[in-house]
Amino acid sequence: MARGLPAQVEAVLAEYRGREWDGFEDLTVPALVAPFAAALVESVGLGPGDRLLDAGCGTGAVVRGAIHAGVDPGDIHGVDIEGDALAVARHHCPAAVRLRLGSLTDLPYSDATFDVVACHQTLQHVDQRQLAVAEMARVLIPGGRLAVGCWGPVRDQVPFRALRAALAQVGSPMATTCFGAASSLSDTGDLHDLLTGAGFADVSVSPIELALRDSPASLLAAYAAQSELVQDGLRALTPDQQATLVETLCAEMPPCAGPDEVITMHMVSNIAVGQVPAQRARRPRRRSP
């Protein structure tokens, strides 16, 4: 058994130090995020003429999916609390897309501004989730549509379930935190209640399972690129522990024969959609468009 980490992972540890959102965009979005962003766009029927807010836009995966579906870039707004993520989004999205810094619990937009609000893999990271969903309702027109995507339980995420097992095998404390926050809103009932509690009608929540193609080495590299804490945690392992981590990761994802072999890995996201009633009573809160 070769000692240490695969060369691909070592390169990532050096390249993306201090550039975590670039690492997310370059390594995680294409393989794991973009396919589910496309499913979210399809679920809410986005198309030409829709005015869209991507709430928690990150590096712009939903924005680009909406453009692919025919939405005019000039009709798209994105808001995120992470300025570094917005900087990456601006580099990868058309200039006509209007991206701004802001919180999901206090959206910087006027009432009834958008036809559609999309929130992809972000709501689970918000402390005041009910307030955030209420804000999404506020900025939607009567009859406007909301689509929220949140990862399902860790047990349904084959690559991250395997990664947790591999981290546990070498005694890393990251075994209990890996993907934990990402799956913190994995209960379909909780997601349904958040939308109905904010006044949305015709709410449905559907688990979407996709078969993704990637290699264990690429998965580990994407995981490492997103966080200096993860990078430090991998560096803290001995070369033998690093090798055991990779070996266990491959064993947990059969029929993988080696870290560079591309295999099929299933993941699940719960997609909730709802609609603002055509008639609704609410206290107006005016904001700048």
Residues 12, 67: Cα–Cα separation, whole Å? 30
What would the two tokens of residue 270 be? 């719960």
> Considering the entire predicted model, what is its pTM?
0.93
Predicted confidence (pLDDT) per residue in 110-166, tens digit: 999 999 999 999 999 999 999 999 999 999 999 999 999 999 999 999 999 999 999
Whole-angstrom CA distances from 230 to 24, 57, 110, 203, 269 are 13, 23, 39, 37, 23
Residue for token pair 């030409």: 48
Q: Which class would CATH give 7-275?
A: alpha beta
Residues 274, 10: Cα–Cα separation, whole Å? 44
Q: What is the pLDDT of residue 256?
A: 86
Predicted confidence (pLDDT) per residue in 65-124, tens digit: 999 999 999 999 999 999 999 999 999 999 999 999 999 999 999 999 999 999 999 999
High-pLDDT (> 90) share of the chain, %: 92
Q: Where are the domains of the chain?
A: 7-275
Confidence of residue 254 (pLDDT cuts 50, 70, 90): confident
Q: Is the pLDDT of residue 284 over 90?
A: no
* R_g of the chain, CA atoms, integer Å: 20
High-pLDDT (> 70) share of the chain, %: 96
Rounded (5°) CA angle 171-26-95: 145
Is residue 122 within 8 Å of 128, Cβ to Cβ?
no
What would the two tokens of residue 57 be? 């836009």
Query: Residue 238: phi, psi to the nearest 5?
Result: -70, 160
Instruction: Report the mean per-residue pLDDT for the chain.
Output: 94
Predicted confidence (pLDDT) per residue in 172-231, tens digit: 999 999 999 999 999 999 999 999 999 999 999 999 999 999 999 999 999 999 899 999
What would the two tokens of residue 144 be? 């406007």
Residues 49, 114: Cα–Cα separation, whole Å? 11
Q: What is the pLDDT of residue 82?
A: 97
Buried b (16+ CB within 10 A) or exposed e, 116-132: bbbbbbbbbebeebeeb
Confidence of residue 286 (pLDDT cuts 50, 70, 90): very low
Query: Residue 179: phi, psi to the nearest 5?
Result: 70, 5
